[in-house]
């Protein structure tokens, strides 16, 4: 937790952050399922909607299946959503104190659901279709992703330019922090990029993903998925969502739809998303899900902010206690 003075917290001062693909682990959320009866109905609904036993997959694995895009996306969405429902039950009226929501890539759908733009049922159907479409397109256009650490945006652009000059596709796709940028591209392009990075002793981590998400290699997925989005009922949101595509706050259904369509093959502007929230007087950030990735990135850039996590029952309880003592004061 950061060192911000709790006296500065005004009524609407909380931002909820929802993690995306890559945060999945076998057994995630099982401790919440065993302790809180009211969330069990969501697993039953999910099994019915998806047509397979997602609860068993999440709790028991195998990890290889859970890591497949078409299963990862509904699993991560469901887990973050049920943790939010626990938060809502244990901190009554918490939604009155939320200034913004945002989610990283897939996490944007949880943010939309919590903000009232999508129903739980529709959001789950959409993320399931999204996962399948992205997986199919990735098989046709194999790609990869690599996180580059310790160099700025301009340097990453130059490095990608070097690889592109040899005729291979590589593009920056996740602007996470000033010093952490993810690049996606075709397999040969990512291999060439890593070769250059290693030669120059620039730290990099190959991500365990099956495709070049948020890049132009997802153009076909974008076209197919947009047709799905056009059939879904999207409501005006009652909490503003800072969206990945333009890093601006949205509550109007038409704007939300357009941003969702663009998100799948355009970069995630996460650094700008967080900056927007900070500039608009957000004091408390809660990462809702089993991940600490988003909160970890946030601490590096804004260590003075109050940053809470919910990755297990212990941190969830600490989070609830903080909210009750410092924000939802009677």
Terminus-to-terminus CA distance in the chain, angstroms? 23
Distances in Å between the Cα of 323 and the Cα atoms of 20, 26, 162, 222, 285 are 24, 29, 49, 39, 11
Q: Which of 82, 8, 12 is nearest to 239 (CA)?
A: 12
Length of the chain (residues)? 330
| 3-state SS assignment for residue 144 | strand
Q: Which of 270, 285, 278 is nearest to 107 (CA)?
A: 270
Cβ neighbours for 301, distance < 8 A, ≥ 6 positions apart: 177, 178, 271, 274
| CA 182 centroid distance within chain | 14
CA–CA separation, 50 and 70 (whole Å): 11
Query: What is the set of active-site residues?
Result: 105, 214
CB atoms within 10 A of CB 216: 16
Q: Which of 52, 123, 117 is nearest to 82 (CA)?
A: 123
- Residue 216: DSSP 8-state: G
Name the H helices within 181-264.
187-199, 219-230, 253-263
């Amino acid at each position: 937790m950061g060192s911000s003075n709790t006296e500065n917290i005004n009524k609407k001062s909380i931002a909820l952050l929802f993690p995306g693909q890559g945060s999945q682990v076998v057994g995630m959320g099982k401790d919440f399922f065993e302790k809180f009866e009211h969330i069990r109905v969501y697993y039953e609904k999910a099994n019915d909607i998806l047509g397979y036993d997602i609860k068993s997959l999440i709790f028991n694995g195998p990890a290889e299946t859970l890591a497949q895009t078409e299963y990862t996306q509904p699993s991560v969405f469901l887990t973050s959503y049920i943790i939010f429902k626990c938060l809502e039950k244990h901190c009554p009226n918490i939604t009155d104190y939320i200034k913004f929501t945002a989610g990283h890539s897939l996490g944007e759908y949880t943010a939309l659901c919590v903000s009232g733009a999508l129903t739980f049922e529709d959001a789950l159907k959409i993320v399931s279709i999204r996962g399948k479409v992205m997986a199919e397109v990735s098989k046709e256009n194999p790609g990869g992703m690599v996180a580059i650490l310790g160099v700025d945006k301009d340097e990453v652009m130059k490095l990608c330019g070097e690889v592109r000059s040899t005729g291979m596709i590589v593009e920056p796709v996740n602007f996470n922090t000033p010093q952490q940028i993810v690049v996606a591209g075709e397999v040969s392009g990512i291999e060439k990029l890593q070769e250059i990075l290693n030669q120059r002793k620039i730290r990099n981590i190959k991500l365990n993903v099956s495709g070049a998400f948020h890049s132009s290699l997802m153009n076909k997925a974008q076209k197919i998925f947009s047709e799905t989005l056009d059939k879904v009922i999207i409501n005006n949101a009652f909490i503003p969502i800072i969206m990945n595509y333009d890093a601006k706050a949205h509550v109007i259904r038409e704007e939300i739809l357009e941003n969702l369509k663009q998100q799948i093959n355009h970069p995630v502007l996460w650094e700008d998303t967080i900056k927007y929230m900070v500039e608009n007087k957000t004091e408390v950030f809660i990462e809702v899900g089993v991940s600490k990735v988003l909160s970890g990135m946030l601490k590096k850039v804004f260590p003075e902010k109050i940053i809470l996590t919910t990755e297990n029952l212990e941190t969830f309880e600490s989070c609830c206690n903080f909210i009750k003592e410092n924000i939802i004061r009677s």
